[in-house]
Amino acid sequence: QQQVKQSPQSLIVQKGGISIINCAYENTAFDYFPWYQQFPGKGPALLIAIRPDVSEKKEGRFTISFNKSAKQFSLHIMDSQPGDSATYFCAARSSYGQNFVFGPGTRLSVLP
Amino acid sequence: DSGVTQTPKHLITATGQRVTLRCSPRSGDLSVYWYQQSLDQGLQFLIQYYNGEERAKGNILERFSAQQFPDLHSELNLSSLELGDSALYFCASSVGIIGGRGLKSKNQETQYFGPGTRLLVL
């Protein structure tokens, strides 16, 4: 119940295309869903986050779509750029819970 | 730059040894989290401290321990090291907890990760 599933494991997209990464959870107590971006040799960095009271959040080229009934959320990267090539992690947490649960990560490669 | 610092950047040691990893949180952050990242396990939460006290425990082995000092820096101690302990160890910090420290207290969500310590056990 503490797991967060993430797919795909890896993704190759052409420059200018849309990258879509999906996550699913089971614990209905989760109420905060961040996405982290990690470049090789660096620590994860918060990219964008959403709470379940909204169905979508957009920041620049990055959009989170959230489906509370399906317990799924996804990251969309519009107009993907080679500089977006990184590993992306979804995560989930209950505000009263003890820790973040991370998905296994998606390695995104954007071809020039 | 997240503002979280970790030392050392790299560490090579032998099985059976003990090492200490150090983390300094962002200025003003009271919570410190430790994570282990390995190729086959992804990011695994180990332990959280808030203002010097243990707040949450994850998949932390008994051979591992941590503490947070009065100046809020934290150390993760790994002992009796095994080959499988080779991994990246990340520290993250966040503002802390709002609403007090009781059952209704809530963790501040945004975590800022340090650059990590790469541990290699030979």
Q: Do A89 and B4 touch (CB under 8 A)?
A: no
A111 at the B interface (CB within 8 A)?
Answer: no
User: What is the tens place of the pLDDT at every residue in B88-108?
Assistant: 999 999 887 654 444 444 445
Residues comprising chain A, all counted? 112
The predicted structure's pLDDT at residue A105: 94
Q: Is A45 on the interface with B (CB under 8 A)?
A: yes
Each residue of B29-47: pLDDT tens digit? Answer: 999 999 999 876 678 889 9
Q: Do A49 and B55 touch (CB under 8 A)?
A: no
Q: In whole numbers, what is the pLDDT of chain A averaged over residues?
A: 91
- Both tokens of A111, joined, read 């071809």
Of the listed ranges A11-15, A72-76, B12-16, B54-58, the least confidently predicted one is B54-58
Mean pLDDT of B9-23: 97
In Å, how far are A43, B63, B113 from B3, measured between CA atoms?
A: 12, 29, 8
Under DSSP, the state recorded for B80 is: S
The alpha-carbon gap from A72 to the nearest alpha carbon of chain B, in Å, equals 19
Confidence of residue A97 (pLDDT cuts 50, 70, 90): low
φ, ψ (nearest 5 deg) of residue B55: -110, -40
* Rounded-to-integer distance, Cα A31 and Cα A49, Å: 11
**Burial zone of A44 (CB within 10 Å; 0-12 exposed, 13-18 middle, 19+ buried):** buried
Band of the pLDDT at A1, cuts 50, 70, 90?
low
Query: Do residues B45 and A99 make contact, with C-beta atoms less than 8 angstroms apart?
Result: yes
Our CA-based measurement puts residue A45 at a distance from the nearest CA of chain B, in whole angstroms, of: 6
Query: B73 vs B42, which has greater pLDDT?
Result: B73
**A61-80 in b/e burial notation, b at 16+ Cβ within 10 A?**
ebbbbbeeeebebbbbbeeb
Note whether A34 contacts B112, CB cutoff 8 Å: no
Instruction: Tell me the chain A residues in contact with residue B106 when contact means C-beta distances shorter than 8 Å.
Output: 95-96
Question: Could you tell me if residue A11 is left (phi over 0), alpha (psi between -120 and 50 degrees) or otherwise beta?
Answer: beta
Whether the predicted pLDDT of A59 surpasses 70: yes
User: Which residue did the predictor score with more confidence, A104 or B97?
Assistant: A104
Interface test with A, best of B43, B88, B93, B112 (most A CBs within 10 A): B43
Rounded CA-CA distance A51/B72 in Å is 29
Least confident of A58-62, B4-8, B39-43, B45-49: B39-43
